[in-house]
Chains A and B, each alone.
Chain A
Amino acid sequence: MTSEMYVVRGAKVLGGKAADLLIEGGVIREVGTIDAPKKARVVDADGLVALPGLVDLHTHLREPGREDAETVATGSAAAAAGGFTAVLAMANTNPVTDTAEAADHILDLGRRAGLVDVQPVGAVTKSLAGQELAELGLMARSRAQVRVFSDDGRCVHDARLMRRALEYVKAFDGVISQHSQDPRLADGQACCHEGEISGRLGLPGWPAVAEDVIVARDVMLARHTGSRVHVAHVSTAGSVEVIRWAKAQGIAVTAEVTPHHLMLTTDLVEGYDPTFKVNPPLRPDEHVEELRKALADGTIDAVATDHAPHARHDKEHAFAEAAFGMLGLEQALQVVNTVMVQPGLMSWEQAAQAMSVNPARIARLEGHGRPLAAGEPANLALVDPAASVTIDAADSQSLSRNNPWHGRTLTGAVHATFLRGRPTYLDGEVQQ
């Protein structure tokens, strides 16, 4: 905890009325009109929107194993620069996060970096092999207190195994975050939305139905087991339909959508640029529109980045052989602002729900996604909603450059991020 004192001057709290926030000892002391004490540092937030610190349910930090692509420290810096105060680190590292020891190691790396709370996601199955359950209970009981489990990158496609996983994690209020991809309908070759463009380009298609059928199966398994299931990176209109139906039945399903699936479409792969190769793939407009609607109406609970850094040499292969994934942490809020808030599809309050409150609730992360009110932890982001920013891939905290927004102009900029009262990003710099 810091003893530093800050007064955030004139921020529009959740986009509403302007107020001052007094931050001291890691908490918000007061919200209102504040005479700044002498020792307080004043942060001018005139015209800025104050949001609870963002929470990313889906981040790949690559450490341990691929420290040339990203480390917990560099990924944390990217997160802080993007307005995040907590990220969930996916389990597909090397070694895989499939034991309590591995989970605690990630937790410790995050604490050492000190820029965001790095909460490990545990693997559902040993080595992500889809055969036997990993030590879910030991991970839950570890210091890291893992609550989210995922074989992300691979689908837990064996229905019996998925059922057991869902049942088992009920004991400690866990959730299975599923990468929904039927491996028979979309195999390892599938690298592009199946449709006219994949047909023309001669690329192995990844049909929307390969996602839809797993989502449909999983919500029925969740109903049968009475467990929580979370649908990672929803990319299809069909999944949205199923999730909307399932929620209406009272099934405990939650869902996330990535910034890239909210904005980018499958035609971007026409030049075979592997920057746009991602799993699930970019989809056509009609899917993107449904995703935006579903996020706006709450069918999709959260925006999660699926931040997936890759070394250049893993992307500079033929399209079908290049690595899947794209960066997301630094542009997530800008994308949500550009495609959802600015066009009037969502209020800032809803954006705060989708990017902080809901993900924190799904992950059972206490201290995040809290109201900006006196007595609450001072985890917050200050956002300039009107800034026009042309994205340059070279200008990034990440070690990787696979940035799909390179050259695009987005609206909005993170001005400052506070983690428990300490600025982690301020004046355009990550505060190491």
Chain B
Amino acid sequence: MKHLLSAGDLSRDQTLAILDSATQMHDVQRREVKKLPALRGRTVVNLFFEDSTRTRSSFEIAGKWLSADVINVSAKGSSVSKGESLRDTVLTVASMGVDGLVIRHHASGAPAQVAQWVDAAVVNAGDGTHEHPTQALLDAYTMRQRLGDLDGARVAIVGDLTHSRVVRSNLLLLNTLGAKVTLVAPPTLMPSGIAEWSAAEGFATSYDLDEVIGEVDALMMLRVQRERMSGGYFPTPREYTVGYGLTRDRLRRLGPDAVICHPGPMNRGLEISAEAADEARSAILDQVSAGVAIRMSVLYHLLGGSGDE
């Protein structure tokens, strides 16, 4: 494995290897001295074309705890408006002698394009409305902590699916791990071509959260972006909550051992009620905590020695 561009790049064995190493990394994280020497002498650049404090700091801490030299480069704003091509921007950074490039980009596919231009290992830290593979890995890690093996686990992903990079990575990864996924959203927030896509990949879709909620082992609530609220995707936030929010009422119908996930940041009161976010079935803080361990594991597998260790 040279790059991590898509959750679909990972075989089941590779996924399990990353998740297992993450467990060890997670233990390190709880130690007083957190530093491992694994990536000593290696250089990782976090090249962020879009702000994301939590993902960036999570990668930064992960690299530092593995003893890599980590540099953050912000390249916000479109390269088009700056008059420099993406290729030129990336080659400028890469030619400084970089081993790993962690890329966040507002446009889908940018990390995949970059991977064709550079020798460094490229990690997709979120690209447009395409993918966010390390988020899917940490989601799977968190769900496995609560549910054990995900083979056959029933997972519903609810919310703005059209514009979510989390859902695309989760679909691929959960599929690899054998989970049964149902996507839930109003028709306006379902991705294009969802009928063909779901038929090809064998996942289910529903417009009705109430039909699904009693039947799931894990419920992943996605953030509704503010700009969608006035974009005509649905009439009002109130109506959205009634149809698709994890309200107090719906919480009662969720199974007693089910897990509640949310990739954050949450809109409390919109897609998720405060009660749901804070109760025992919620694994939302576990997800954040797993984030560093997963990114350590990914960097370790891509940059540490042969990669097969």
- Which residues of B have CB within 8 Å of A202? 108-109, 127-131, 165, 168, 191
A203 CA / B130 CA spacing, docked (Å) = 7
- Which of chain B's residues 105-124 have a Cβ closer than 8 Å to chain A? 105-110, 112-113
Task: Indicate if A198 sits at the interface (CB-CB under 8 A).
Answer: yes
Task: Identify which of B79, B86, B131, B196 contacts A195 (C-beta below 8 A).
Answer: B196
- Which residues of B have CB within 8 Å of A197? 193
A205 CA / B200 CA spacing, docked (Å) = 20
Looking across the interface, which residue of chain B has its beta carbon closest to that of A311?
B85
Looking across the interface, which residue of chain B has its beta carbon closest to that of A269?
B109
Task: Indicate if A172 sits at the interface (CB-CB under 8 A).
Answer: no
Task: Indicate if A185 sits at the interface (CB-CB under 8 A).
Answer: no
- Which residues of A have CB within 8 Å of B29? none
Decide: B109 and A201 in contact? CB cutoff 8 A: yes
Q: Min CB distance, B136 to chain A, in Å?
A: 14
- What sequence of 0s and 1s flags, for each residue 188-202 of chain B, a beta carbon within 8 Å of any chain A beta carbon? 000111101100100
Looking across the interface, which residue of chain A has its beta carbon closest to that of B80?
A321
Chain B interface residue count: which class?
A: 20 to 34
Decide: B192 and A196 in contact? CB cutoff 8 A: yes
A201 CA / B127 CA spacing, docked (Å) = 10
- Which of chain A's residues 304-356 have a Cβ closer than 8 Å to chain B? 312-314, 316-321
In the complex with contacts A199-B192, A202-B131, A319-B197 CB distance below 8 A: no
In the complex with contacts A202-B168, A319-B107, A272-B191 CB distance below 8 A: no
Task: Identify which of A194, A201, A273, A317 contacts B130 (C-beta below 8 A).
Answer: A201
- What sequence of 0s and 1s flags, for each residue 113-152 of chain B, a beta carbon within 8 Å of any chain A beta carbon? 1000000000000011111000000000000000000000
Decide: B193 and A196 in contact? CB cutoff 8 A: yes
A198 CA / B108 CA spacing, docked (Å) = 10
A271 CA / B114 CA spacing, docked (Å) = 11
Task: Indicate if B87 sits at the interface (CB-CB under 8 A).
Answer: yes
Q: Min CB distance, B184 to chain A, in Å?
A: 16
Decide: A203 and B88 in contact? CB cutoff 8 A: no
Chain A interface residue count: which class?
A: 20 to 34
Decide: A199 and B109 in contact? CB cutoff 8 A: no
Q: Min CB distance, A213 to chain B, in Å?
A: 17
Decide: A319 and B192 in contact? CB cutoff 8 A: no
Task: Indicate if B78 sits at the interface (CB-CB under 8 A).
Answer: yes
Decide: A196 and B196 in contact? CB cutoff 8 A: yes
- Which of chain B's residues 142-164 have a Cβ closer than 8 Å to chain A? none
In the complex with contacts A196-B192, A199-B191, A205-B192, A320-B128 CB distance below 8 A: yes
In the complex with contacts A200-B168, A272-B113, A318-B193 CB distance below 8 A: no
- Which residues of B have CB within 8 Å of A272? 108-110, 112-113
- What sequence of 0s and 1s flags, for each residue 242-268 of chain B, a beta carbon within 8 Å of any chain A beta carbon? 000000000000000000000000000
A189 CA / B60 CA spacing, docked (Å) = 32
Q: Min CB distance, B296 to chain A, in Å?
A: 27
Task: Identify which of B78, B107, B193 contacts A199 (C-beta below 8 A).
Answer: B193
- Which residues of B have CB within 8 Å of A321? 78-80, 86, 107
A316 CA / B89 CA spacing, docked (Å) = 10
- Which residues of A have CB within 8 Å of B197? 196, 199-200
Decide: A320 and B107 in contact? CB cutoff 8 A: yes
Q: Min CB distance, A65 to chain B, in Å?
A: 16
- Which residues of A have CB within 8 Å of B86? 316-318, 321
List residues of B whose CB falls within 8 A of some A CB: 78-80, 85-88, 105-110, 112-113, 127-131, 165, 168, 191-194, 196-197, 200
Beyond contacts A199-B194, A202-B165, A319-B113: 15 other A-B pairs, Cβ-Cβ < 8 A, are: A195-B196, A196-B196, A198-B192, A200-B193, A202-B128, A203-B108, A272-B110, A272-B113, A316-B88, A317-B78, A317-B85, A318-B113, A319-B107, A319-B108, A320-B108
Top 5 nearest A-B pairs (CB, nearest first) are A196-B193, A272-B109, A318-B107, A202-B130, A199-B191
